[in-house]
Structures are given as structure tokens and as C-alpha cells.
Amino acid sequence: MKCAMPCRTLMGLVGSLALWIFGILAGFSLLQRYSLTAGPAHKADPSAHAVLAAHRAPGRPLLVMAVHPRCPCTNSSLAELGELLARSRGACDAVLLQFQPDKAKADWPAGAATRQLGGVNVPVIPDRGGRISATLGAVTSGHAVLVDAQGAIRFQGGLTIARDHRGRSPGQDAILAVLAGGCAPVSSAPVFGCTLGPECGGEAAR
């Protein structure tokens, strides 16, 4: 066979090219797989209503989100939460449950009392050991629970479409639909984020 370049070189080149393309595809596949792998989620305990009632204003829907302060995905979840609150135009209140380990190191972020999200001051409640979150069934950062004006849980799940990936998600659509007085197309959605820790049952969920 006559080649424009030495056959061994050509074969090496083709092999390298194939290996390179395979490596890229494999890398992006793994990355995609990681991004699309949702964290664990559980049903809320019966005691969750009492917890939620403690933070909900009478007659107003409440959206509670459990977050891990150091999880990179939290940024995306908070951004989507802010966008959702902005789009809901004050139709509901919101509360953040910020995971606080029982034996936190000195460099663990203490967190502010409130966070400005979508033009709304959202109270930040430290969640020692993630116990409150566990009550709500939230074991993954970004897990949100929507309680309507009557105190019924209408939605549980994440607001992002993938790990640390912003974008319009089914969870947002469901919450907006509930807040608009309609029916949520889905009552739950996958949660993409870090687990809140074994203290809150994350390990078990995993």
C-alpha cells in the first residue's frame, strides 16, 4: 500500500486520533454522568409540618431549601431559588436551612442571618447536624420543600437540572404553577448537590 506518509506514522496518527477522540468522549460522558447523577431524597416526616409551621407566616406559602454552605452546587441552587422568587413576585416566603455540623471546625462558614435572593431577604436558619433538613426529608444540598398557604407540602425536590448547572428545571415549573394557584405538573424532582452528611442520614440515602 502506498501512503502519502510512512504507513507506521499514518497508523500511529490514526490511532492517536482515535484514542484522543475516545478520551474526550469518555471524559465528557463521565462529566455528564456526574452532572446528571441526582442526590438522595426522602419523604418528609410527619413532624415536618410542625417545623414548617414554625417558620411559615399564616396564609402564605413557604419555600424551604436545605443547603450545604460549601457545596459548589449550592450556588446554582441559590441562583435558581433567587430567580424563582423574583419570578413569583413575592407570592411566597422562603427560608434557607444552612447545614452546620455539630463539631464544626473554626473555618466552617457561619453564614449570615439573611441572604438577598431575587430581591427578597431570605432568612438563614443554621441547621445543626442537618436535623431539620432530615425532618423535611432533605439529605442533599438544594433540596426544596414547598408548603402552600394551607400548610400542605406541594413539592419536594431540586431546582436545578444538573449538578452545579443552572437552567430552567421541572422543579421551578412545578413551584411556579402551585404559587400561581394551579396544579403542579410534578410533585417532586431530582436534587443535584452534595449530601448534607451522615448525621442527617445522607450516608444511608447514598
Partner 1 sequence: MNAAPPALTSAVTFAPFLDANREPAITGLFTAYEQKVYAQTNRLFWWLLISQWVCALLIALVWSPRTWAGIESSIHPHLMAAAALGGMLVSLPLALMHWMPHHALTRHSVAVAQVGFSALLIHLTAGRIETHFHVFGSLAFLALYRDWRVLITATLVIVIDHLLRGLWYPESVYGVPLAAMWRTVEHAGWIIFEVAVLVWASFVSRREMWEICRRQDAHQQLLDGLEQRVSERTRALEKEVSARARMTQELTRSEDRYRTLIGNLPIGVFESTKDGRVLLANPYLLSLLGLPADQDLTKLNMADGKIIQPEERQRFWANLRAQIHVHGFETTLRTVSGDLIQVRMNARRGLNRDGTLSCEGTLEDVTARKLAERELELVHERLVTASRQAGMAEVATGVLHNVGNVLTDVNVTVQDVLDRLRTSQLSHLHSIVEAVQNERPRLASYLTEDPKGQQLPDVLIQLETLLTEENERLRIDIENLARHFESIRQIVVTQQSSARLCGLADKVAS
Query: Which amino acid type is present at position 161?
Result: I
Enumerate residues 19-48 that contact partner 1 by CB under 8 A: 20-21, 23-24, 27-28, 30-32, 34-36
Residue 5 engages partner 1 in binding (rule: CB under 8 A): yes
Enumerate residues 68-127 that contact partner 1 by CB under 8 A: 68, 70-73, 75-76, 79, 99, 101, 103-105, 108
Our CA angle for 80, 25, 159, nearest 5°, is 10
Task: Tell me the C-alpha distance between 63 and 206, whole Å.
Answer: 25
Assess contact for 84 and 173: CB atoms under 8 A. Answer: no
Enumerate residues 167-196 that contact partner 1 by CB under 8 A: 167-170, 194-196
What are 197's three cell numbers? Answer: 452528611
Smallest distance, Å, CB 110 to partner 1? 15
Q: Which stretches does DSSP call E strand in 61-129?
A: 62-67, 93-100, 114-117, 120-128
Assess contact for 73 and 39: CB atoms under 8 A. Answer: no
Residues in contact with partner 1 by the rule CB under 8 A: 4-5, 9, 13, 16-17, 20-21, 23-24, 27-28, 30-32, 34-36, 68, 70-73, 75-76, 79, 99, 101, 103-105, 108, 130, 141, 161-162, 164-170, 194-200, 202-203, 206
